[in-house]
Amino acid sequence: MLLFILGLIMFVGLVVVHEFGHFIMAKRNGVEIEEFGIGFPPRLFKKKTKGGWLFTINLLPLGGFVKLKGEHDTDTAPGTFGAASLPAKSKIMAAGVVMNLITAFVLLTGLAWAGTPILICNQFTLKQDTHVVQDTRHLYAGLVEPDSPASKIGLQKGDELLAVGSSANNLHRILPECQFSDITKQHAGQPLVLKFKHQGKVIVRTAQLVSTAEVQKSQDTKHPKAYLGVGVDGSGLAYNRSTWSAPIVAGGLIKQFTVLTFQGLGKAVAGLGSLIAGGVTGNKTARQHGQTSASSQVSGPVGIFVILKDGSALGYRFILLIIAIISLTLAIMNILPIPALDGGRLWLMLITRAIKKPLSQDKEELINAGGFIFLLLLIVLITIVDIRRFF
């Protein structure tokens, strides 16, 4: 419970760190601060500081904000955001992203020293300065397809998969799940030796895998085949620990998780497109596929709550890794051209300056208000999906 509470505090802290970046950069560039708020109104607490700005704690803990004097690009009074130079405005709006990136880098560097949980296949590391510690991972057989190579050697659901290899004298441990999938694909159409534990008894059997041609030919039929014909489920964690290469590992992980985030966003957008197209055309299959594809790639406040709650049982390093990934995700989302977010405002300002057609205050407010309403509706939709998914 203590780790769970700590995780929630750190999650809120990510928003505070983000807004603090805006706060510091605004002060350094002569823009006056009117309010620094944690959460969104209604207000629970407020205090006027010696610097003349208002510090508030608000009821809705979904974010935070820094209210600058004269936030519109058309404001011209001294000390306003609008009166600041273009480089100053750009630095102010990008400062939150930079703070979240720094936070992610610091957390991932510390984790590399303490031991980073291995969550994905081929997780970035430097092999010459990394060793696996506290390995409690296990791999179990899931659903076994009837008349598949797996069923023919007696593999059953719940059996623990211990090792695999091209021969009984060349077996190696299988970890994690995606590695097992790669191995069966590499040995398509060939014999594969499996070592597994069934009801406490260790068994070694050879399975003749289905060929690639057979698998591809069966994909459009009612009974698609797989190379081995068994799903796998993993449990437990292992940790990669580094020393001098910790900062390099942190940088590599930031790049790796950034790529995965953009891939996930791409799938979510494609799924949303299928969902809309299916709804317009009445194609139920396309609509359901789009809904599943889109919803599986995103998670909101409820999903984060559940992840932190369940993850607290896995220890402080898992919680810190999740917080680091969330911090990185906040940086990515806030640099994208999404109206109402930092990136949207920054790109809108840069584009209007480039074409030399600055927006009026009313148009700027309309665009940002529309984007904010869209984001709120999206949060509500994602929350509904999360509730159905987790409860």
pLDDT tens for 185-204 read 899 999 999 999 999 999 99
Whether residue 280 has pLDDT greater than 60: no
Whether residue 114 has pLDDT greater than 70: yes
pLDDT at 279: 58
Percent above pLDDT 90 for the chain: 41
User: Is there a contact between 271 and 382 (Cβ–Cβ < 8 Å)?
Assistant: no
The HSE-up count of residue 362 (CA atoms within 13 Å, CB side) is 0
Helix (H) or strand (E) holding 141: strand 138-144
pLDDT at 165: 87
pLDDT at 371: 75
Residues 6+ apart with CB under 8 A from 94: 335, 342, 346
Burial category of 141 from C-beta neighbours within 10 Å (exposed 0-12, middle 13-18, buried 19 and up) = buried
Residue 126: pLDDT band with limits 50, 70, 90: very high
CA distance 127 to 137: 20
User: Is there a contact between 142 and 235 (Cβ–Cβ < 8 Å)?
Assistant: no
* This model's pTM is above 0.85: no
Which of the pair, 194 or 338, is modelled with greater confidence? 194
pLDDT at 112: 96
Residue 39: pLDDT band with limits 50, 70, 90: confident
Instruction: Give the mean model confidence (pLDDT) for residues 310-337.
Output: 87
Q: Please name the amino acid found at residue 204.
A: V
Exposed e or buried b for every residue in 362-381, given b needs 16+ CB within 10 A? eebeebbeebeeebeeeeee
Longest dimension (CA), the chain: 80
Determine how many CB atoms are found less than 10 A away from the CB of residue 320: 21
pLDDT at 298: 58
Dihedrals φ, ψ of 81, to 5°? -65, -40
Whether residue 229 has pLDDT greater than 70: yes
Name the CATH superfamily housing domain 137-235.
Answer: PDZ domain (2.30.42.10)
Tell me the β-bridge partners of 239.
117, 133
Residues 6+ apart with CB under 8 A from 380: none
pLDDT at 281: 60
Whether residue 286 has pLDDT greater than 60: no
pLDDT at 290: 46
pLDDT at 168: 83
Burial category of 184 from C-beta neighbours within 10 Å (exposed 0-12, middle 13-18, buried 19 and up) = buried
pLDDT at 302: 64
Return mean pLDDT, the chain. 84
CA distance 55 to 67: 10
CA distance 23 to 335: 17
Q: Any idea which of 75-89, 100-114, 159-173, 291-305 has the lowest mean pLDDT?
A: 291-305
Q: Any idea which of 217-221, 289-293, 355-359 has the lowest mean pLDDT?
A: 289-293
Residue 286: helix, strand or coil by DSSP? helix
CA distance 389 to 391: 6
pLDDT at 159: 94
Residue 11: pLDDT band with limits 50, 70, 90: confident
Cα end-to-end distance, the chain, whole Å: 19
pLDDT at 176: 66
Which of the pair, 62 or 59, is modelled with greater confidence? 59
Residue 260: helix, strand or coil by DSSP? helix
Exposed e or buried b for every residue in 244-281, given b needs 16+ CB within 10 A? ebbebbbebbbeebbeebeeebeebeebbebbeebeee
Which tokens in the block code for residue 28?
A: 């350094």
CA distance 27 to 95: 12
Question: Over the stretch 77-89, which tens digit does the pLDDT of each residue have?
Answer: 889 998 899 899 9
pLDDT at 115: 94
Residue 288: pLDDT band with limits 50, 70, 90: low
Whether residue 58 has pLDDT greater than 80: yes
Whether residue 306 has pLDDT greater than 80: no
Query: What are the distances in angstroms from CA 260 to CA 121, 254, 293, 336, 370?
Result: 12, 10, 15, 15, 29
pLDDT at 33: 94
Whether residue 310 has pLDDT greater than 90: no
pLDDT at 272: 59
Name residue, tokens 């919680």. Answer: 319
All structural domains of the chain with their residue ranges: 1-32+69-129+253-391, 137-235
Dihedrals φ, ψ of 34, to 5°? -100, -35
Q: Any idea which of 29-38, 84-93, 219-228, 378-387 has the lowest mean pLDDT?
A: 378-387
Residue 76: pLDDT band with limits 50, 70, 90: confident
